[in-house]
Chains A and B, each alone.
Chain A
């Protein structure tokens, strides 16, 4: 467009001002679409965190599992001695057990992670104390919302043994369930009972920090995978993400189509007005520029309101709804929404160029 922005805005803005109802409807539709996009993006993000925040917190580069495990932590059974640390900066073992935990009145699906308290995957304690005595755990603090408290006795579905919450940590959910951290002795007691010998060497994985995973040397029966691949293979994780991402992409297309139709109808209605302007010699470029400028204003307004509504909704949502906004991602989605709207407007540009001023003026 040759015409400068402020000049094409003149026509665009005055038309909006004088047809408030019409353009409020257009903005309204855009608000709804962008609200949905932002909300879905928040949901996708929230669900992601629900699955991976405990792993992200390790700041690990990779994880060692057995070849047979199909990248599932539960299915990977190996011995403490299977890895000697060749090629890594740091490594630590991890054992896990999934269970249903309950205090007197609440039940919750949890993961119990047995870790070395001196290792780099030891979580920070945000409240209470770390685990010291057998049976003590550090729990993810979302359990607080379910009524679990420090000192609570937790009974488990699979055993008669009980655990006690010594303290809480934050951001420690794994595959949609809160994690309880404890030491190996406690986990072994849960798995094999008080009477078991104390020299059980079974673990589920090694968590490693290394500059390059290629240099990590492991037995044939083991495999080294990077953290991201490990997370992507959590049950349901990729499927969930794909579904939501696909919905968001569909919404982009929908907003482009809806806006294209709206603007096309408006343009058709204005053919005679555009025609008289063209008869006077006002260029198609200026008129098209004004439609594009108008679309930009409308979509900007719609996206901003949608964003504000999404953020406000987020403040009032119960904690059980896993919505977490990633503002940078929202900004990008907002820009995409505006961009696809403007692309939708380009269909009308063609119509404007084709308008014959002679037909419009009659006579």
Chain B
């Protein structure tokens, strides 16, 4: 069974002359252990797709199912709880709390949710992300790339079944960018998550299981990963 499913999902903003069809009618599925790339030009609807998939905004039409639960039926409180349990977001903008150090960012998650990574597992994660020496740093004392890696660690810390990453490599140099993509791939296979990565950078999609391309809100599966090039 697909862990994430979008059925006939559609999103329009505004009405009349200012109407924007950010997502045209879309069906989408992601299985456990799948690494999926979503590419497309700026303004094509990539972030819209990702935030609808993660239950951060409701579609104008259609249905989103996470692990068999229809998001439409849930109140915001339940939806937040579902996000916390199932979804790991890596956002375009930094999603760190400025007054918590790296270790405390994770501790905060322990305060609100059980079943997060064990100490040893977390240590491994920090090592693989190359942030194990930064645990006591506050966000203001991290470089852009380091912040991004901490954000990834934060998304993975809750053991999510779905990882939604919006341009996670945007602020990284290309070596680091490749490294981060590799890591996402490893985690996807190891933890059997459904991982969806939105990116501009077509060089990063070689290892993905599927690639979708969005143009003007229309989402299309690419037959072969290399079609996109």
Q: Which residues of A contact B (CB under 8 A)?
A: 3, 7-8, 10-11, 14-15, 17-19, 273, 276-286, 357-358, 361-363
Q: Tell me if A280 and B97 are in contact (CB < 8 A).
A: no
Residues A279 and B56 in contact, CB atoms below 8 Å apart: yes
- Decide if A281 touches B99 in the complex (CB within 8 Å): no
Q: For residue A19, which residues in chain B have a CB less than 8 angstroms away from its CB?
A: 99
Residues 72 to 111 of chain B near chain A (Cβ within 8 Å): 77, 80-85, 87, 89, 91-93, 95-100, 104, 107-109, 111
Q: Are B93 and A363 in contact (CB under 8 A)?
A: yes
14 contacts between A and B (CB under 8 A): A3-B111, A7-B111, A10-B104, A18-B99, A19-B99, A273-B97, A279-B89, A281-B80, A281-B87, A281-B112, A282-B112, A283-B112, A284-B77, A363-B91
Given A10-B108, A361-B91, A361-B92: A283 and B77 within 8 A (CB)? yes
- Distance to closest chain B CB from A260 (angstroms): 22
Q: A280 contacts B56, CB within 8 Å?
A: no
Q: Which 9 A-B pairs have the closest CB atoms?
A: A281-B84, A281-B83, A18-B99, A276-B95, A363-B92, A363-B47, A7-B111, A15-B99, A362-B93
| Beyond A15-B99, A279-B89, A283-B112, 14 additional pairs, beta carbon < 8 A | A7-B111, A7-B112, A11-B111, A19-B99, A273-B97, A276-B97, A279-B54, A280-B158, A281-B82, A282-B80, A282-B108, A358-B51, A361-B93, A363-B93
1/0 contact string of B124-161 vs chain A (CB within 8 Å):
00000000000000100000000000000011001000
Instruction: Judge whether B91 and A276 touch: CB under 8 Å.
Output: yes
Question: Is B166 positioned at the interface, with any CB of A under 8 Å from its CB?
Answer: yes
Which residues of the partner chain A approach B87 to less than 8 Å between Cβ atoms?
281
Residue in chain B with minimal CB distance to A9: B111
Q: Name A3's contact: one of B91, B92, B112 (CB within 8 Å).
A: B112
Asked whether, in the complex, the Cβ of A14 is within 8 Å of the Cβ of B104, the reply is yes
Q: Are B56 and A361 in contact (CB under 8 A)?
A: yes
Enumerate chain B residues within 8 angstroms of A357, measured Cβ to Cβ: 56
Taken together as a complex, chains A and B put the C-alpha atoms of A282 and B85 apart, in Å, by 10
Smallest CB separation, A354 vs chain B (Å): 11
Residues of A within 8 A of B77 (CB): 283-285
Closest B-chain residue to A15, C-beta based? Answer: B99
Question: Once the chains are docked, how many angstroms separate the CA of A286 from the CA of B111?
Answer: 9
Interface centre among A17, A283, A285 (most CB of B within 10 A): A283
Q: Does B57 contact A (CB under 8 A)?
A: yes
CB distance from A290 to the nearest CB of B (A): 10
- Once the chains bind, are B100 and A14 in contact (CB under 8 Å)? yes
Do the beta carbons of A18 and B80 come within 8 Å of each other?
Answer: no
